[in-house]
């Protein structure tokens, strides 16, 4: 038997600047967009979510009765938590550049890219047979793809995971197939509402 893993990235809040470790709840616009996609969520025997409010809110708005799974938590940004890329580019340009180019670097004191790839890989390889649905952050989805496809860790930042998309992996025993992230059926922005900004 095989496992089919369906990874859904959470909605984003359009009104906030993207920041490291931003795990705040969805705003009303994000919740509306997510509820509009609820009918497109595939069925699964095991439904999980990352423990962050944003992922839990997304899972709930999609109608998924999900259990929080610590292994799906976002990449630990250490002392950079709550800070934006613009701020770090000005205050710590060398450290930020090292982190974005060296998968083993963790100048913020949290997890390196290699760390999160190892964590996501351990979770992925330990899943039971059957259909698994998980709402988790773009970083964990990137990490799972790097692990499943045996990509070099340097490719982590080259994988773009858009909000409210579905990425599917199927396989077993270290051999995985990928169905690339397809958008869930989300209606366009409501009158007077700005579309969500892409995730950093």
Angle between helices 138-148 and 113-125 (to 10 degrees): 70
List CB contacts of 78: < 8 A, sequence separation 6 or more.
106, 108, 109, 110, 111
Q: Which helix (H) or strand (E) holds 61?
A: helix 53-61
Using 50, 70 and 90 to split pLDDT, how confident is the model at 88?
Answer: very high
Instruction: Give the model's pLDDT for residue 84.
Output: 87
Instruction: Give the model's pLDDT for residue 52.
Output: 94
- Per-residue pLDDT tens digits for 3-44: 999 999 999 876 556 778 777 888 898 899 999 999 889 999
* Mean predicted confidence (pLDDT) in 81-101: 92
Q: Which residue has the higher pLDDT, 174 or 14?
A: 174
* Mean predicted confidence (pLDDT) in 113-126: 97
Is position 155 within any domain?
Answer: yes
Q: Tell me what percent of the residues of the chain surpass a pLDDT of 90.
A: 72
The span from the CA of 31 to the CA of 163, in Å, is 12
The whole-model pTM stands at 0.88
* Mean predicted confidence (pLDDT) in 92-114: 95
Is position 190 within any domain?
Answer: no
CATH number of the domain residue 54 falls in: 3.40.50.1240
Across 8-17, 48-57, 148-157, least confident range: 8-17
* Half-sphere CA count of 149, side-chain side, radius 13 A: 18
Instruction: Give the model's pLDDT for residue 24.
Output: 81
* Mean predicted confidence (pLDDT) in 168-183: 83
Is position 188 within any domain?
Answer: no
Is position 195 within any domain?
Answer: no
The span from the CA of 144 to the CA of 6, in Å, is 11
Kindly state the greatest CA–CA separation across the chain.
Answer: 51
CB of 167 closer than 8 Å to CB of 145: yes
Mean predicted lDDT score pLDDT of the chain: 88
Is position 191 within any domain?
Answer: no
Supply 41's token pair.
């969520």
Instruction: Give the model's pLDDT for residue 182.
Output: 66
Using 50, 70 and 90 to split pLDDT, how confident is the model at 53?
Answer: very high
Instruction: Give the model's pLDDT for residue 180.
Output: 76
How many structural domains does the chain have? 1
Is position 189 within any domain?
Answer: no
* Domain that residue 9 falls in: 3-183
How far does the chain reach from its first CA to its final CA, in angstroms?
37
Q: Is the dihedral of CA 141, 147, 148, 149 positive or negative?
A: positive
């Amino acid at each position: 038997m095989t496992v089919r893993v369906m990874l859904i990235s959470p909605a984003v809040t359009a009104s906030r600047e993207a920041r490291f470790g931003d795990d705040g709840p969805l705003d009303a616009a994000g919740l509306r967009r997510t509820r509009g996609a609820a009918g497109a969520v595939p069925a699964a025997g095991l439904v999980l979510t990352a423990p962050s409010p944003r992922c839990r809110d997304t899972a709930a708005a999609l109608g998924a009765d999900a259990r929080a799974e610590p292994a799906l938590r976002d990449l630990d940004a250490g002392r950079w938590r709550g800070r934006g890329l613009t701020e770090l580019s000005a205050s710590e340009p060398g450290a930020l550049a090292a982190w974005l180019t060296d998968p083993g670097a963790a100048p913020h004191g949290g997890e390196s890219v290699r760390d999160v790839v190892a964590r996501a890989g351990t979770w992925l390889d330990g899943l039971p047979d059957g259909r698994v649905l998980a709402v988790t952050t773009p970083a964990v989805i990137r990490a799972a793809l790097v692990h499943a496809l045996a990509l070099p860790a340097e490719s982590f930042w080259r994988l773009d995971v858009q909000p409210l998309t579905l990425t599917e992996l199927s396989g077993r025993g270290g051999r995985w197939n990928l169905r690339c992230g397809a958008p869930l059926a989300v209606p366009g922005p409501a009158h007077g509402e700005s579309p969500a900004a892409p995730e950093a």
